[in-house]
Amino acid sequence: MGRSSNITVFILLGLSQNKNIEVICFVFFLFCYIAIWMGNVLIMISIRCTQLIDQPMYFFLNCLSLSDLCYTSTVTPKLMTDLLAERKIISYNNCMIQLFTTHLFGGIEIFILTGMAYDRYVAICKPLHYTIIMSRHRCNMIIMACCTGGFVHSVSQFLLTVFLPFCGPNEIDHYFCDVYPLLKLACSNTHIIGLLVIANSGLIALVTFVVLILSYFFILCTIRAYSVQSQRKALSTCSSHLTVVVLFFAPALFIYIRPATTFPEDKVFALFYTIIAPMFNPLIYTLRNTEMKNALQKVWGHQEFLKGK
């Protein structure tokens, strides 16, 4: 690969060195991973088996659920395996693959959230033109743009890291391979690369977050002229989306918007956008959304359960 390195294996220090804590973490993350799969698959099937798939908002939600599954699966299975392992090791090649895939699906998720915000903006601020603007062709093009953006972001992160020389030590103070912990191990000056990482990951997250917040500011300004019932419906939909945005972006901004340094807290913050957010997304979008509840009733017949909600 054109690199000068004698490191073929990395050691992941993980979340804790205490075995009892690791067992507790394993049980907790196993529950989280099962919940992620059950919740997101439930949403995907419910949307695809009803007419909700024809609505742009639920078309994007279906894509978000799929990206959630892919994103968390690049990290969580390895994390759970390491929690029960004596030595938490990962080969250099697998480390680079994990780095590429986490940024690929993480980037796609960020752009899908932006697409969902655009959909809500058009629906609320330009309702008469909504069906024309958000046609199925336009929705497909937005998803293609999200995938392309995620791929470009991931390739750039990969290229910034793959040519770094690693001469030792080989202990990564994290539970998965990410750019900043790897820069810390490189036996070369990584100042310029660190700035490029900020320009890539940090600015993408910051600009996207600002755009999302601005879109909801315009939405709030628009709905002031609506009836109380319409205001409640718009706020219910947008508050669900905004909750997911904050849950995902706040910890990501903490990690990627600063200079290339690492803190022990990074691992805890990373849990929010790699595991916690994908787990809560189905609950946030389902429990606050009448149409999703009705779709779940229609497909699964759990009427009593949903009425209790």
Residues 6+ apart with CB under 8 A from 233: none
Q: First and final CA of the chain: distance in angstroms?
A: 54
CATH number at residue 263: 1.20.1070.10
For residue range 116-138, what is the model confidence (pLDDT) as tens digits?
889 988 988 888 899 999 999 99
- The residue segments making up the domain with residue 251 are 11-303
CA dihedral 91, 199, 4, 79 (to 10 degrees): -10
Tokens of 237: 């939909």
Q: What's residue 219's pLDDT?
A: 82
Q: Which residue(s) pair with 12 in the sheet? A: 172
Percent of the chain with pLDDT over 70: 93
Q: What's residue 290's pLDDT?
A: 73
Q: Is the pLDDT of residue 8 over 80?
A: yes
Instruction: Write the CA distances from 79 to 12, 64, 83, 106, 181, integer angstroms.
Output: 10, 22, 6, 17, 16
Distance CA 270, CA 140 (A): 30
For residues 290 and 73, is the Cβ–Cβ distance under 8 A?
Answer: no
Q: How many helices (H) and strands (E) does the chain have?
A: 14, 3
Number of domains composing the chain: 1
Q: What's residue 70's pLDDT?
A: 95
Q: Is residue 179 part of a domain?
A: yes
Q: Is residue 148 part of a domain?
A: yes
Q: Is the pLDDT of residue 229 over 80?
A: no
As a whole number, mean pLDDT of residues 240-264 equals 81
Instruction: Write the CA distances from 188 to 158, 166, 181, 218, integer angstroms.
Output: 17, 8, 14, 47
Q: Is residue 118 part of a domain?
A: yes
As a whole number, mean pLDDT of residues 171-190 equals 88
For residue range 181-211, what is the model confidence (pLDDT) as tens digits?
888 888 888 888 888 888 888 888 888 888 8
Q: Which residue(s) pair with 9 in the sheet? A: 91
For residue range 255-309, what is the model confidence (pLDDT) as tens digits?
888 776 777 788 888 998 899 989 988 888 776 677 777 777 777 765 444 444 4
Q: What's residue 309's pLDDT?
A: 47
Q: Is residue 308 part of a domain?
A: no
Residue 232 corresponds to which amino acid?
R
Q: Is residue 142 part of a domain?
A: yes
Q: Is the pLDDT of residue 74 over 70?
A: yes
Q: Is residue 170 part of a domain?
A: yes
Query: How much is the pTM?
Result: 0.87
User: If you ran DSSP here, which 8-state letter would residue 224 be given?
Assistant: T
DSSP, collapsed to helix, strand or coil, labels residue 195 as: helix
As a whole number, mean pLDDT of residues 68-78 equals 95
DSSP, collapsed to helix, strand or coil, labels residue 282 as: helix
Residues 6+ apart with CB under 8 A from 100: 154, 155, 157, 158
Q: Is residue 158 part of a domain?
A: yes
For residue range 100-114, what is the model confidence (pLDDT) as tens digits?
999 999 999 999 999
Q: In this structure, how many other beta carbons lie within 10 angstroms of the beta carbon of residue 230?
A: 13
For residue range 39-61, what is the model confidence (pLDDT) as tens digits?
999 889 988 888 888 899 899 99
Q: Is residue 2 part of a domain?
A: no
